[in-house]
Structure 1
Amino acid sequence: MKYLILLFFAGLSIGFSQTKKKPDFNVVGFYTGINDRAHVSFVHEANKWLAKMAQEHNFTYDSTNNWDNLNAKFLAKYQVVLFLDTRPEKLEQRQAFQKYMEHGGGFIGFHFAAFAMNDTDYPQNWDWYHNTFLGSGQYVSNTWKPTSAILKVAQQHPAVKSLPKTFASAPNEWYRWEKDLKSNADIKILVSIDPSSFPLGTGPKQHEIWHEGYYPVVWTNTKYRMLYVNMGHNDIDYDGGTNKELSLTFNNSTQSQLILNALLWLGGY
């Protein structure tokens, strides 16, 4: 009986220590979550999926739509920052983020987080972020409607570890950029659109259908601990007028593994 009691308390002690295990790292996602039903859908989906991954892989995940939290005191709590849909607009927020990245912070930006186009609500007025950090410059055009593409792993990196050489993505609106990322020595392209995807997009406008070209969709700037992922636009029933979700980004297991790999890499695991 004494032996059984000791085993019982030993089991309680092990269980208690496991539940109290210190998180390996902390992640925070910034978002706006207002404009474009497809982006809002992705934000809600991402917040749920990231919280689930945090529980399963022993990191913490917080989210905020208060971009004023982009300051040194707040960021000091986190090893990884995510931009889920937009970017900071205030000078002090931008300066805090740049300093965070220049001092070793981790970052993943999704889809619209890289958007910049003059004469819109998101003009190209942040040179360091769009030209130096992301390396992409302004947005130029996109495919339409949101369509699955065959993606090709371009080179080895922890974010694409164990991924197949090619895989089908979740439906997405794909972006084309002003800058040629291949010519930037600091940029390492990890995933691009495979030529077998063409024609990509359904229109109705002809320029929304791509028939050829080289399009990076996941890359890192080797001077920073960062990743940009072009995915982040769910398919929505705009034509039918219901605005229902027709696809979800994280329903794609291979694509989700890429993002989880990136989080663990940035978290140091």
Structure 2
Amino acid sequence: MRGIRALIAIALLVGAPAAWAAPVIDCPMRDAPFSIQSPIVDILLNTDAKALVETQAGDLLKTLPPRFFSTTAPTFAAILTMEKLAAMKGTGATDLSALDAALRKIPVTPGDRIARCARYDNDRPALTLPAGRPRLLLFEKMTGFRDGPSVDAARAAFQAMAKRNGWALVVTDKGGAMRPSVLRRFDAVIWNNVSGDVLTLSQRKAFRAYLESGGGFIGVHGSAGDPATFWNWYVDNLIGARFAGHPMNPQFQDARIALSDAKSPLASGLPSEWVMNDEWYSFTANPRATGADIIATLDESTYSPVGMDGMQLRMGDHPIAWSRCVGKGRMFYSAIGHRPETYGAAPYVRMLENAIRWTGTKSACQTRPVR
């Protein structure tokens, strides 16, 4: 309790925003030592850590434009580590061992803890839920990369679907919505291109419990597209795949999507194949191996899966949309959706509508055979 009171007192002294009824003190990385696995934003917020990185690995910070290293969320610096940045540039992580050792010697101060927690929130949004079922919460909090056009297009598409189908949908960008008293009002939560670590420890616990007890989750595109992630359960158990990269030069390409599981309720009304133009994600492992039911795959022969600096992104079997049971709950993820135009493509709209109907079903999820 003494440590908590100290944090609150310091937050008030440094001018905590008036909207903070109480400072966030249970952010996941609050007490973590500085290291090459730290979010770069946390390093930049500490004068000594920043100076050390600029002295020993300053060239790495020039890998990306300066705007990527803002210390105000949302910022790309929240979804990058020095280790990940080195890998992107082709420098082995072992080259950073001296930097890592030096960073770990820098003490984590109460001010550091406050700065780290400042990008989280405990705000309880006032949500007016209209009539209709399923009841949907469209979640849009971002601390990492925010691509405004794709977020806005997805929101408009989901709102149009809700109006067309008589569903109840409300929108929030507050992590404080992830609490039992709010979540129990909804049949499914849609993560709209959410990027960055956005939930406190208590919010993570509430969200996971909601899903495992029968809630629904839909994630689109950027909700599983961060270079560095800091919640293992989310990427390894819920999504079941970690982002590897996407093509560059060109970033957006036509590719053929093939229906993988025509018997799935999520495939209802979809053509056996169709072509779209988008930013195509690859993953470090196949979600099929973690028990996901693959809804659709990419035909890698129809586009060039080559990323930054010639990085090979070929997966062979390349899932692009899948579902799974999470305890009694249901999840659906689609990696489609960077370009705003994708949210107007008839097959994709139908897939997302199917996903809402399926994840919003209240009966306990039944595991399908691994395919």
Give TM class, smaller chain: 0.7 to 0.9
Counterpart among 200, 208, 213 of residue 103 in structure 1:
213
Summarize the Cα distance change of 1:131–1:200 in structure 2 as closer, same or farther, 3 Å threshold.
closer
* Aligned residue type for 2:211: M
Alignment TM-score, normalising by the size of structure 1: 0.76
Match of 2:156 in 1: 48
Alignment TM-score, normalising by the size of structure 2: 0.56
Alignment pair present for 1:263 and 2:356: yes
The alpha carbon displacement at 1:180 in A equals: 2.5
Indicate the SS of the match to 1:112: helix
Counterpart among 205, 214, 231 of residue 336 in structure 2:
231
Query: Using the alignment, how far apart are the partners of 1:85 and 1:267 within structure 2?
Result: 19
* Aligned residue type for 1:213: G
> Of the two structures, which has the highest relative contact order with CA contacts closer than 8 Å and spacing of 6 or more?
1
Counterpart among 198, 208, 220 of residue 323 in structure 2:
220
Query: Using the alignment, how far apart are the partners of 1:211 and 1:131 within structure 2?
Result: 20
Query: CA contact under 8 A between 2:193 and 2:220: conserved in structure 1?
Result: yes
The alpha carbon displacement at 1:179 in A equals: 2.1
Runs of 4 or more consecutive aligned structure 1 residues displaced over 4 Å after TM superposition: 33-37
Match of 1:132 in 2: 237
Match of 1:16 in 2: none
Query: Using the alignment, how far apart are the partners of 2:175 and 2:287 within structure 1?
Result: 28
Counterpart among 229, 248, 256 of residue 341 in structure 2:
248
Match of 1:61 in 2: 169
Match of 2:198 in 1: 88
Match of 2:282 in 1: 176
Counterpart among 24, 31, 36 of residue 133 in structure 2:
24
Per-residue deviation, residues 100-156 of structure 1 (Å, max 9, x unmatched): 1001101101111113434xxxx3x212111112111x3222113122321011112
* Aligned residue type for 2:232: D
Query: Using the alignment, how far apart are the partners of 2:273 and 2:333 within structure 1?
Result: 19
Summarize the Cα distance change of 1:196–1:164 in structure 2 as closer, same or farther, 3 Å threshold.
farther
Match of 1:163 in 2: 270
Query: CA contact under 8 A between 1:149 and 1:200: conserved in structure 2?
Result: no
Indicate the SS of the match to 1:248: helix
Segments of structure 2 that go 5 or more residues without pairing to the other structure are 1-129, 363-371
Give 1 or 2: higher helix fraction.
Answer: 2
Query: CA contact under 8 A between 1:147 and 1:173: conserved in structure 2?
Result: yes
Summarize the Cα distance change of 1:140–1:212 in structure 2 as closer, same or farther, 3 Å threshold.
closer
Query: CA contact under 8 A between 1:88 and 1:94: conserved in structure 2?
Result: no
RMSD: 2.4
Indicate the SS of the match to 2:153: helix
Indicate the SS of the match to 1:233: coil
Query: CA contact under 8 A between 1:220 and 1:228: conserved in structure 2?
Result: yes
Alignment pair present for 1:73 and 2:181: yes
The alpha carbon displacement at 1:198 in A equals: 3.1
The alpha carbon displacement at 1:81 in A equals: 0.1
Percent identity over the alignment is: 23
* Aligned residue type for 1:252: A
* Aligned residue type for 2:265: P
* Aligned residue type for 1:231: I
Counterpart among 248, 257, 260 of residue 154 in structure 1:
260
Alignment pair present for 1:142 and 2:246: yes
Query: CA contact under 8 A between 1:28 and 1:80: conserved in structure 2?
Result: yes
Per-residue deviation, residues 169-204 of structure 1 (Å, max 9, x unmatched): 2x32222222232322x2111111024423357x78
Summarize the Cα distance change of 1:59–1:194 in structure 2 as closer, same or farther, 3 Å threshold.
same
Indicate the SS of the match to 1:167: strand
Query: CA contact under 8 A between 1:198 and 1:211: conserved in structure 2?
Result: no
Query: CA contact under 8 A between 1:147 and 1:200: conserved in structure 2?
Result: no
The alpha carbon displacement at 1:67 in A equals: 1.3
Summarize the Cα distance change of 1:85–1:132 in structure 2 as closer, same or farther, 3 Å threshold.
same
Indicate the SS of the match to 2:254: coil
Query: Using the alignment, how far apart are the partners of 1:161 and 1:30 within structure 2?
Result: 26
The alpha carbon displacement at 1:34 in A equals: 7.3
Query: CA contact under 8 A between 1:29 and 1:82: conserved in structure 2?
Result: yes
Query: CA contact under 8 A between 2:255 and 2:298: conserved in structure 1?
Result: yes
Query: CA contact under 8 A between 2:337 and 2:343: conserved in structure 1?
Result: no
